[in-house]
Structure formats: structure tokens, C-alpha cells
Amino acid sequence: MTQHTPLERLHRAIPGIRAQLARLWAILPDARLVGGAVRDLLCGRAVADIDLATPCAPDVVMARLKAAGVKVVPTGLAHGTVTAVLDGRPFEITTLRRDEETDGRHATVAWTHDWREDAARRDFTINAMSCDSAGVVHDYFGGKADLAAGRVRFVGAARTRIAEDALRILRFFRFQARYGHGAPDAEAMAAVTALADMIDRLSVERVWSELRRILVGPHVVLTLGQMAGCGVLVHVLPPPWDIGRLERLLACGAPDEAVLRLAALLEGDVQTVARHLRLSRADGTALAQARAAPVPRPGLDGAAIARLLADDVPRDLLWRAWLAQAETLGAPDLTWDALRRVLAQTPRPVFPLGGHDLLAAGCVPGASMGQVLLQVRQWWLAGGCTASHAACVAHMRSLLPAGPEAAGGGSG
């Protein structure tokens, strides 16, 4: 069987990438692929981002790219990163660095020409490899062997790496879930346990970004259990939690939606967690609606389904059904599947009446207009949301007082 180098695998996987990299290497011949691209190419996974590193200073990188007619964006000059854009594809190019000073959240960096020094500041051995233009993988800390063995191991001393950036605690669990096999590295677990309270110093936006990835990643139940067991999860999410309910949700076959899984995991007031994590308005609303009422259940007829859809968007109803199935059954079930299929396929009914209809009937604007509309809507809902506009107008007229002034509340 032919063994392909990581570079050859990349050329085969992404159309056009060979010519684009060749162009970049003609401009920056000492540059190398780094980080996740090398890791994932070595283990045969799809590559998301293609990042490079170079000994050249950022201003030199920008000047060379511009002179060669390549679009370049100064995306992170303070950290030595620029983005080259070729045929619409972005390539982040970062100057080799060493940390001058760190505070557990931010680092002050200086440029270096030493590839090993740059690799030494990375988090895990599997992320510290680089690949040059000849396809040679440079591995200073045993990342290739760790990747093959399913070991997620910090570069150097685990406590030192975490002290540089506490977010690495959460990254450890995310990478362990995705690349690890068997028990987590003992030194790493001792370090994350001892330094768990450093998470409190991080911005909650960074914490939620990592937690979201953990929630939709593999082995999420095992991972959250490990985080809870070593005292990390309590610094991420206010307790209490119900990891068992999340496990039942996954057993039902629910989609890998981070907010849905968060809703299953949480106990108590979800609004408190939404505020704690500073969720976006969209995520906060989705979380609250997933735990709201009414909850659809198997056996509902068409009229009941229509009433539900008239008041709630399908996604919220589908998520509530998943959570209810997890709570009551915790296993796949055809009747729940059928319910969700109907919810997803049934068009949302739209109440056909509006304020302009009351005005056309002679109503004077006032508080009673809203009351009449509400009464007609309740009648429309009770009938399974099938009444036409004409039928709703007729029912509305039957509710109006004899005189239009009375209908609008009058002037007294």
C-alpha cells in the first residue's frame, strides 16, 4: 500500500491547493504548514484551516506577499499573524514566536528564527508539528507517536502550559475527546485538577466557545464526567447538572446542537446560565425556548399540532420533543420520530386577521380592539387553525357591539 506524505494527502484532498501552496512557498520558501493541518493530515482527518509559520517578521511577510501580487490582510499583527488570500482561500501566516510574558490569559511575544522554540510554546505535542515544502514533518516533542497512540500530552510541563493560558484546560478535554484513546494523560489530569480555578480568570466568551465545541464533539458524556470529577466543570457551568439526561438525549439520536445539549445538561434556571455564559441573544432565546411549554408528545392530532405551530417555531417544538423523549424514555422510538416528522413537515398556520380588519368593520382604535382580536384568535385556535379570513371576519363581527363607538371604547 502506497504511503503518502501529509503534503501529498493535502494535494489529493483539496483541489487547487498544490498550486496555491507552491505560490506561497515561492514567496516564503522557509515557511511550513503548522498545527492542526499537520496533525489531521497525519491521522487521515479532513483539514479545516491551513495555517503556516515562517521565520520572517510580519512586515517582511506582508511586503513579499504584496510585491508578488497576493492579497494580504493584517489580521493579528500584534501576534505576528497575517492572512494571505489566494483564489478566495485564506492562509494564516504567523511569524515564529516565543513568549516573553504571560498572565494566564494573554501573552507578550517576541519573534524568533528557532522552530523548536516556537513549537515549545504550543499546547499539545500533537499540535506542535510542522511540515515543510518538501513534505518533511518536523516533530520536536514526539507528537507523531502520541497521535498514533491516542495520547493527548502537553508540550513540556503541563502546569507551565496551563499557567500560560488557562483555556488550555478546556482545550485538553476537547482534544482528549477527539484524539485520545483510553485514560487521559496522568500528568495532564493532575495539572487541570490543581489549576481548575484559573478558569475563573478567563472571559466567559472564550469559555463558552470551548464548551460549545466540547458539547458537539465526540464522547461528550465521558468528557463532561471527567470534567466534573476533577473539579473543572463547576468553574465552567453553575451546578447542578444532569449528565445522565444528556446521555439519554444522545441515546435517543438527537442532533448535535450545542444549545440543545446544554439544555439537557442543565438543571434549574437556564436564564442564570445564559447570563453567566453571556450567550448571544439567539443562543439565550433558543436555550429558554427549549425548556419552555407546551411540550409536544406522541398522539397529538392535526388540530393540536396546528395549535402548537401557531404559537411556536418548529425548532423549539422539535427540541422540546427531544428533551421530553430523553426525560421519559431515553431511547429511540418510532412514535417520537413520527411526531417530529409531522412537526417539521406541517406548514405553520398564520392567523388571517389583523387590526386593519377591525378598522374596516368600523371599530374605533382602542384597547378593546386587541381584546376582540384575541377572542377571534382563540376561536381560530380552538378550530384547529383552519378558519378562513372570511370566517374569522364573520366571527369578529358577531363579537362586536351594535355601535362602532362602543366597539372602540367610546369617548365617555
CATH of the domain at 85: 3.30.460.10
- Mean pLDDT for the chain? 93
- Whether residue 73 is predicted with pLDDT greater than 70 in this model: the reply is yes
Report residue 295's pLDDT band, with 50, 70 and 90 as the boundaries. Answer: very high
pTM to 2 decimal places:
0.89
Same domain, 32 and 52: yes
Q: Which domain holds residue 205?
A: 150-236
Report which of 157, 251, 241 is spatially closest to residue 195, judged by C-alpha positions. Answer: 157
Same domain, 284 and 390: no
Q: What does the angle CA 259 – CA 240 – CA 249 come to, to the nearest 5 degrees?
A: 45
The 8 Å CB, 24+ separation contacts for 226-234 are: 226/173, 226/176, 226/184, 226/189, 227/173, 230/189, 230/192, 230/193, 230/196, 231/193, 231/196, 232/169, 232/170, 232/173, 232/192, 232/193, 232/196, 232/199, 234/196
> Residue 67: inside a domain, yes or no?
yes
Same domain, 14 and 143: yes
> Residue 209: inside a domain, yes or no?
yes
Same domain, 196 and 225: yes
- pLDDT at residue number 211: 98
d(CA 140, CA 400): 83
- Whether residue 282 is predicted with pLDDT greater than 80 in this model: the reply is yes
| Number of domains composing the chain | 4
More confident residue, 103 or 161: 161
User: Do the Cβ atoms of 396 and 357 come closer than 8 Å?
Assistant: yes
**3-class SS at 392?**
helix
> Parallel, antiparallel, or unpaired for β 89-95 and 51-54?
parallel
Same domain, 231 and 290: no
- Whether residue 410 is predicted with pLDDT greater than 90 in this model: the reply is no
Question: Which residues, listed in sequence order, are joined to residue 51 by a DSSP beta bridge?
Answer: 92
Residue 3 neighbours by CB under 8 Å, 6+ apart: none
User: Do the Cβ atoms of 320 and 259 come closer than 8 Å?
Assistant: no
- pLDDT at residue number 108: 72
Query: Of 201, 236, 271, which marks where a domain is finished?
Result: 236
User: Do the Cβ atoms of 199 and 166 come closer than 8 Å?
Assistant: yes
- pLDDT at residue number 268: 86
- Please state the φ and ψ torsions of residue 93, each to the nearest 5 degrees: -125, 120
Residue 353 neighbours by CB under 8 Å, 6+ apart: 373, 376, 377, 380, 389, 392, 393, 396
Q: What is the pLDDT of residues 57-66, one digit of tens each?
A: 999 999 999 9
- Whether residue 78 is predicted with pLDDT greater than 90 in this model: the reply is no
Same domain, 76 and 21: yes
pLDDT (mean) for 153-164: 96
- Whether residue 105 is predicted with pLDDT greater than 70 in this model: the reply is no
Same domain, 46 and 81: yes
What count of Cα atoms within 13 Å lies in the side-chain half-sphere of residue 250?
A: 17
Same domain, 31 and 114: yes
CATH number at residue 158: 1.10.3090.10
Q: What is the pLDDT of residues 201-223, one digit of tens each?
A: 999 999 999 999 999 999 999 99
Same domain, 72 and 178: no
Q: What is the pLDDT of residues 19-50, one digit of tens each?
A: 999 999 999 999 999 999 999 999 989 998 89
> Of the ranges 70-79, 312-321, 383-392, which one carries the lowest mean pLDDT score?
70-79
pLDDT (mean) for 145-171: 97
pLDDT (mean) for 322-329: 97
Say if residue 15 is preceded by a cis peptide, omega within 30 of 0: no
Q: What is the pLDDT of residues 231-265, one digit of tens each?
A: 999 999 999 999 999 999 999 999 999 999 999 99
Q: What is the pLDDT of residues 120-154, one digit of tens each?
A: 999 999 999 999 999 999 999 999 999 999 999 99
Strands (E), 116-210: 130-131, 137-138
- Whether residue 405 is predicted with pLDDT greater than 70 in this model: the reply is no
Report residue 3's pLDDT band, with 50, 70 and 90 as the boundaries. Answer: low
> Residue 144: inside a domain, yes or no?
yes
- pLDDT at residue number 365: 83
The 8 Å CB, 24+ separation contacts for 329-337 are: 329/248, 329/252, 330/247, 330/248, 330/251, 330/252, 331/248, 331/251, 331/252, 332/251, 332/252, 332/253, 333/252, 333/298, 335/298, 335/299, 336/252, 336/298
Same domain, 242 and 343: yes
- Whether residue 297 is predicted with pLDDT greater than 50 in this model: the reply is yes
- pLDDT at residue number 403: 52
- pLDDT at residue number 103: 61
> Residue 9: inside a domain, yes or no?
yes
Same domain, 167 and 200: yes
- pLDDT at residue number 2: 47
- Whether residue 406 is predicted with pLDDT greater than 50 in this model: the reply is no
pLDDT (mean) for 339-360: 95
User: Do the Cβ atoms of 37 and 50 come closer than 8 Å?
Assistant: yes
- pLDDT at residue number 363: 82
Query: Of 333, 349, 365, which marks where a domain is finished?
Result: 349
Share of the chain above pLDDT 70, in %: 95
> Residue 412: inside a domain, yes or no?
no
Same domain, 258 and 188: no
- pLDDT at residue number 187: 98
Query: Of 349, 381, 396, which marks where a domain is finished?
Result: 349
* Radius of gyration from C-alpha coordinates of the chain: 29
- pLDDT at residue number 101: 63
